[in-house]
Amino acid sequence: GCGCRSRQDLLLLSPGTPPASSPFGSLWPLPQSLRVSPERFRLAPDQFQIVHGPGSSAGSSCSLLEDAFRRYYEYMFGYSKWQNRDGKKSLCETELSLLQVIITSKDSECDKFPSITSDEAYHLQVSKPTSVLKADKVWGVLRGLETFSQLLYEDDCGSYFVHESVISDFPRFAYRGILLDTSRHFLPLKIIQTNLDAMAFNKFNVLHWHIVDDPSFPYQSTTFPELNAQGAFTPKHVYTPTDVHNIIEYARLRGIRVIPEFDTPGHTQSWRKDILTPCYSGKHPSGSYGPINPILNATYDFMMKLFEEVGNVFPDDYIHLGGDEVDFSCWSSNPDVTEFMKKKGFGFWYSKLESYYVEKILEIVTSLNKKSIIWQEVFDDGAKLQPDTIVEVWKKFLYQLELARVTKQGHQAILAAPWYLDLISYGEDWKSYYGVEPLNFMGSKSQKELVLGGEACLWGEYVDGTNLTPRLWPRASAVGERLWSSKNVTDISDASKRLTQHRCRMLRRGIAAQPLFVGYCTTLEQ
């Protein structure tokens, strides 16, 4: 076992993009700075440890890191075709015995939740007999552990190796999100957790949880239990307070924020009927309902109580308030609404009524010490936004112009428009996602600094637990590298080779990522 030649014959010393024939050629997303030596070191699973290094501000009391150490040891050695199951010491002496993890800041943020300002930078030096991973905060350690695990490779005889290397890394964008939709199809907890794992493997850091919509209301509210009782598909298709807590904590342990979306005034057909607008046919109610009724004081009392609960349940600073695709036909049919419009001097501009409603919701959320994200229609229709409101740009047509308009008015922006992964096509569509440059719009440097990042959206009309994971991965991986790596990392041929290997690694870790093209994974027993 010790004398077997590796199938990967490496002679590499490169400060830039490594060739995909090397184990470094499977790094995803590509680090900001990478130097690799031809010298390699052997690791023996029964002799290798990930430990807290000297001087680190986080020790064994940091459950987030202890959990990560166990997890990454399993990722590196637990899926191998070679296992030392008899308990005997391996035949090969290890050359690299320790990965020391050192948190340099006094506040490691071990017990905190990640935020938009979280520091994810890290420095990794792979040398023998001890390698060192340094970061200011635990979030950087999580990203560095992922990179270290990707450097490890196995030869044909089951020996593990890693090459001497120095990596300095940090994300290009602070917001790197995945949107999952649990209203159109209920997603089991296990499926959400599996995809949180996959997000960590691709260095995403935001789960945008589009939790409710027209088809169903699976969020179990303690303040208004009738919402899920009436709005969920069945009593089984709900996320209990324990479920929600578990998802938030599962995400936190992977450095991932959970931002809930409660989309109003449209997309609310599963909500309580008494806060929806009765639609009219002529002079009589038609029996159907439209968007949230914006003329009732009771509406805002309800929203205050609901968002107070949501703000307490979800620890993130932000709540996504939606605001997209509001159908004005029901409002225009309702005589009480049209009378209200006249009194307010809105004329026939129902977008003004929408803005009136959204501005009140923004004020409610602000009063609860939370910040808001909204879809671009709210901005487009002229609502007066809070200064810290983030605008999410989702309409693909002229999205660069929209980014320019949003940032020119001083608002932060998130780009989703070119990354709607529910829109599928035949072939390697990941390449079109990879080719997007988020800052490719007309604007000043200060405008471009307002673009926080972006997210890949997977809406749920044709997606449930059976096909979500393979539809999302590795297509979303292309977005992950675009949002993490340097702007000049654009070589599609190199990316294709690395992503092919990364996809195989995700399979080994239990992520049912679909193939990119023809071929097979060499280290999978199929």
DSSP, res 256: -
Active site residue 154: no
Distance CA(38)–CA(163), nearest Å, equals 7
Distance CA(505)–CA(464), nearest Å, equals 24
Decide: helix, strand or coil at residue 106: coil
Residues with Cβ within 8 Å of 242's Cβ and at least 6 positions away in sequence, in order, are none
Decide: helix, strand or coil at residue 31: coil
- Please, what is the Cα angle at 272 between 214 and 335, to 5 degrees? 90
Decide: helix, strand or coil at residue 195: helix
Residue the block writes with tokens 């969920």: 232
Q: Which among 406, 361, 369, 339 is positioned nearest to 266, based on CA atoms?
A: 361
Residue 8: Cβ-neighbour burial (10 angstroms; 0-12, 13-18, 19+):
middle
Distance CA(518)–CA(526), nearest Å, equals 15
Residue the block writes with tokens 């205050």: 304
Distance CA(385)–CA(372), nearest Å, equals 9
The answer to whether the CB of 338 falls within 8 A of the CB of 281 is no
Q: Which among 201, 514, 28, 506 is positioned nearest to 524, based on CA atoms?
A: 506
The answer to whether the CB of 459 falls within 8 A of the CB of 185 is no
Q: Could you say which of 325, 339, 437, 449 is catalytic?
A: 325
Helix (H) or strand (E) holding 201: helix 189-201
Decide: helix, strand or coil at residue 447: helix
Distance CA(195)–CA(474), nearest Å, equals 11
Active site residues: 325
